[in-house]
Amino acid sequence: MTRATPKSFHVKSFGCQMNVYDGTRMTELLAAQGLTEAGQDEADLVVLNTCHIREKATEKVYSDIGRIVKHSVEARGVRPMIAVAGCVAQAEGSEIPLRSKAVDIVVGPQAYHRLPALVADAATGVAALDTDMPTASKFGALPARRVTGASAFLTVQEGCDKFCTYCVVPYTRGAEVSRPWAQVMDEARALVEGGAREITLLGQNVNAWEGEDEAGRTRGLDGLIRALDRLPGLARIRYTTSHPCDMSEALIGAHGDVETLMPFLHLPVQSGSDRILKMMNRSHDSASYLRLIDRVRQARPDIAISGDFIVGFPGETESDFAATLALVETVGHAQAFSFKYSPRPGTPAADMDEQIPADVMEARLQRLQALLNSQQHAFNRATVGRHTRILIEREGRRPGQKLGKTPWLQSAHLATEAPIGSLIDVTIASAGPNSVAVEKI
Ligand code: SAH
Ligand code: SF4
Ligand code: F3S
């Protein structure tokens, strides 16, 4: 069946920050084709940039498709063209249009630069599916970056070779690849020219980034950070997500002496039980993780530590879980994400014995989150009285109010006329569980 060529589009991203980045690049790509951005119910083309990490995330896509089509038909009497992009597209490929007839296009995370051609195919009624992982990177085929706001994401590394036994990412994103130095520096310059004051370097294992600098020397992420530190106009650098095994001495050292590198480290550990870590194929144990945290804190004593945790991995006993709580107590987190284990098709852990009952998982998650929430509140309270700076990132909810971030990634509201992108000297006046209140100095 032929379809009208879409004139407007809407991109909706789920999942991690790398998907948010990809969503931005797809938006830039479609805008460069002359399509205009529209709301979800008004757009001729809706791109769902999906996440496959847990079952819930995947299932959400299918319920979303139904809802979007229904709303669009009710509002405008037309069925939009639907593209499924991202990690579900990669994992389920040609099964998607079989399961949902409303889907016109399926495009994987390494192929979305071909979206315009796929849209043209779909308009002529040709099946439009592309889940290739081409050797030539998509980045060269994407248009230049547009203005982005005060804080921008920049993907520098993609894919994962770690194969944790619970995780789909090595299958959906492919092998670890680092973007070349010059390409990253060019994109960073474009972002700063567009108004970005902060850049967050992204990768599934961003601290595994490796490349050659202008002089042909092999550099790690620390080298890239040091070069970005010298970029005029760039005030803040962050990076995420890191794997403990790729946390080099040089990168730890950068936290000690690169002023623009913010004192925040997201370093997932997943569990505090060595037995479970082994079954997860994490290639670190709890002691090596804690030593790492000590070294980072020696380099940068005020650093805020964040992490990811999975409860209810197959075979997790009450004493394994107690080891996770003990590790959390030792580390003291500024924030963290915690999840119930979700068996994923094709991963080794999905076939392991002793899958944990849902109610046990739920109870453990509640206990862990109670502890992590209290640590987050305690971290926020411990910053009260500090003189620091916030970067104004967007308008606040109330008129005249702006939303900013402290160096430790805490949200801070401030009544100010200062424009987005300003850095303002403040004192942290009081702390809540999820944000801090600040006063202008
Ligand atoms: N590369 C990153 C993780 C990306 S996925 C890293 O290793 O840190 C983000 C988080 O999702 C993981 O850290 C893990 O805590 C969680 N996760 C991954 N697979 C999961 C699964 N099958 N069930 C529950 N949580 C999972
Ligand atoms: Fe998944 Fe492990 Fe790779 Fe992280 S390191 S993306 S958890 S396989
Ligand atoms: Fe999800 Fe893919 Fe990111 S599975 S977490 S969107 S890499």
Residue in 104, 94, 90 with CA at minimum distance from that of residue 58: 90
**Model confidence over 371-415: pLDDT tens digits?**
999 999 999 999 999 999 999 999 988 888 999 999 999 999 999
Q: How far is the CA of 167 from the centre of ligand 2 (A)?
A: 6
pTM greater than 0.75: yes
Give the Cβ contact number of residue 218 at 10 Å. 9
**Model confidence over 172-225: pLDDT tens digits?**
999 999 999 999 999 999 999 999 999 999 999 999 999 999 999 999 999 999
160 CB-contact burial (10 Å; exposed 0-12 / middle 13-18 / buried 19+):
buried
Return the residue whose CA atom lies nearest to atom 1 of ligand 3.
51
DSSP summary character for residue 270: B
Q: In b/e form, how buried is each residue of 177-197, taking b as 16+ CB within 10 angstroms?
A: bbbebeebbebbbbbbeeebb
Cβ atoms of 383 and 408 within 8 Å: the answer is: yes
List the structure tokens of 279: 């079954």
Return the residue whose CA atom lies nearest to atom 4 of ligand 2.
204
**Model confidence over 101-148: pLDDT tens digits?**
999 999 999 999 999 999 999 999 887 999 998 877 899 899 988 867
State the closest ligand 2 atom to the C-alpha of 243, by its place in the atom list counted from 1.
5
Cβ atoms of 431 and 357 within 8 Å: the answer is: no
Ligand nearest the Cα of residue 163 is 2
Cβ atoms of 151 and 198 within 8 Å: the answer is: yes
Residue in 246, 307, 316, 247 with CA at minimum distance from that of residue 280: 316
Cβ atoms of 153 and 37 within 8 Å: the answer is: no
If one residue of 17, 25, 53 were mutated to test the ligand 3 pocket, choosing by the most ligand atoms within 8 A of its CB, it would be 53
- Listed in sequence order, the residues at least 6 apart from 124 whose beta carbon sits closer than 8 Å to its beta carbon are 2
* CA 78-131-25 angle, 5° bins: 70
**Model confidence over 293-310: pLDDT tens digits?**
999 999 999 999 999 999
Question: Residue 420 carries which side chain, given as an amino acid letter?
Answer: I
Helix, strand or coil for residue 208?
helix
Token pair 């098709």 is at which residue? 345
- Domains of the chain (ranges; CATH) run 8-130 (3.40.50.12160), 145-262 (3.30.750.210), 387-440 (2.40.50.140)
